[in-house]
Amino acid sequence: MFNKTIIAALLATVATTATAADCEYGEHDITITAADSAVFDLACGGAIKAIQIFEDDLGYDKLTYTVDVNIEDEVYYLKPGDPDYRVFGIYDTKIKSIQVSSPTTDYAKERFVFIADQADKTTGLAMTDELWASIVTHEVSHSITDQIWIDNGGLNRSEKLGGGAQEFVAYIVQLMSLSDETREQVLNQYPDVDEGFDNKMKLNSLYHMHFPHKYGVIAYNTFTATGTAWIQEIMNGDLDPDLKFTNGTY
Ligand SMILES: [Zn+2]
């Protein structure tokens, strides 16, 4: 893990100088590190979309967000007892930084998203640029939620929001970022789910981990049924039934 991190950091330094472009939106401080310009543009677009949805659709337009996205060849989740637990993307609250697996890697190209059957990873949608960018949007949403949550009108909270509530918001923003056509394909992956959560207690990490992608679609259906009400409750600190299993990464 340590050597991999060092090598990734060195590569990231090279990539920064190789990619002279900026990713700019309003007054926000967006940093994207990617080895090639096409990937940079895709990631930049995904990050800006997240900010636009929070500001324009969810009403969180008071803060200046700091977003740090690093596109890597390999991304690992710090899972106790399993140092090689590879993931697609991650937001780490401790270093306020996002890592996403590059779309140029075989790992990303061969991965399916929004898996219909949790036991069969090939039952998902094939990866596309749009879906890859939406994963950046998802991770950036975790970062923005973290910043809104910590601030909450100057509260400067130190405790972490539960993983279930975090994922609820991130999946809603991710699905909102998709074209109508692609979103329809995602929703059609789960024909048995056409309503949102029937119980707020289901916004917890265990329920999310049981079937993450389906959890995301139920979250989105909750949003279409109830609007921003649950998101406001989460941000205000009135809705977080989680058992606090989070280690600070989402
Ligand atoms: Zn997530």
Q: Model confidence over 213-238: pLDDT tens digits?
A: 999 999 999 999 999 999 999 999 99
CA of 197 to the centre of ligand 1 (A): 18
Q: How confident is the model at residue 208 (pLDDT cuts 50, 70, 90)?
A: very high
Q: Is the pLDDT of residue 17 over 50?
A: no
- Tell me how far CA of residue 127 lies from CA of 5, 35, 190, 225, 245, in angstroms: 26, 20, 18, 28, 30
Task: Tell me what the pLDDT averaged over the chain comes to.
Answer: 90
Phi then psi dihedrals of residue 131, to 5 deg: -70, -35
**What local confidence, expressed as pLDDT, does residue 6 receive?**
53
CA of 113 to the centre of ligand 1 (A): 13
**What local confidence, expressed as pLDDT, does residue 4 receive?**
54
CA of 92 to the centre of ligand 1 (A): 11
Q: How confident is the model at residue 34 (pLDDT cuts 50, 70, 90)?
A: very high
**What local confidence, expressed as pLDDT, does residue 159 receive?**
86
Q: What is the mean pLDDT of residues 18-37?
A: 88
Distance of CA 222 to the CA centre of its chain: 18
Measured distance CA(99)–CA(42) in Å, rounded: 14
Q: What is the mean pLDDT of residues 162-172?
A: 96
Measured distance CA(65)–CA(146) in Å, rounded: 10
Residues with CB under 5 A from ligand 1 (ion): 167, 170, 250
Q: Model confidence over 46-102: pLDDT tens digits?
A: 999 999 999 999 999 999 999 999 999 999 987 778 878 888 999 999 999 999 999
CA of 157 to the centre of ligand 1 (A): 21
CA of 91 to the centre of ligand 1 (A): 8
CA of 167 to the centre of ligand 1 (A): 5
**What local confidence, expressed as pLDDT, does residue 249 receive?**
77
Q: Write the CB contacts of 226 (distance below 8 Å, at least 6 apart in sequence).
A: 196
**CA nearest neighbour of 184 among 217, 215, 208:** 217
Q: Which residue has the tokens 């330094």?
A: 13
CA of 38 to the centre of ligand 1 (A): 24
Structural contact between residues 58 and 64, judged by C-beta atoms closer than 8 angstroms: no
Q: Model confidence over 114-149: pLDDT tens digits?
A: 999 989 989 999 999 999 999 999 999 999 999 999
Q: How confident is the model at residue 199 (pLDDT cuts 50, 70, 90)?
A: very high
CA of 205 to the centre of ligand 1 (A): 11
Measured distance CA(174)–CA(100) in Å, rounded: 15
By the 10 Å C-beta count (0-12 exposed, 13-18 middle, 19+ buried), 247 is classed as middle
**What local confidence, expressed as pLDDT, does residue 116 receive?**
95
CA of 138 to the centre of ligand 1 (A): 6
Q: Percent of the chain at pLDDT above 70? A: 90
Q: Is the pLDDT of residue 9 over 60?
A: no
**What local confidence, expressed as pLDDT, does residue 11 receive?**
55
Q: pTM (2 decimals)?
A: 0.89
Measured distance CA(119)–CA(136) in Å, rounded: 25
Lowest mean pLDDT segment, chosen from 12-16, 123-127, 201-205: 12-16
Measured distance CA(207)–CA(213) in Å, rounded: 11
CA of 220 to the centre of ligand 1 (A): 14
CA of 139 to the centre of ligand 1 (A): 6
Classify strands 89-92 and 112-113 as parallel, antiparallel or unpaired: unpaired
Q: Is the pLDDT of residue 247 over 80?
A: no
**φ/ψ bin of 126: left (φ > 0), alpha (ψ from -120 to 50), beta (otherwise):** beta
Higher-scoring residue by pLDDT: 17, 114: 114
Q: Model confidence over 109-122: pLDDT tens digits?
A: 999 999 999 899 89
**What local confidence, expressed as pLDDT, does residue 20 receive?**
52
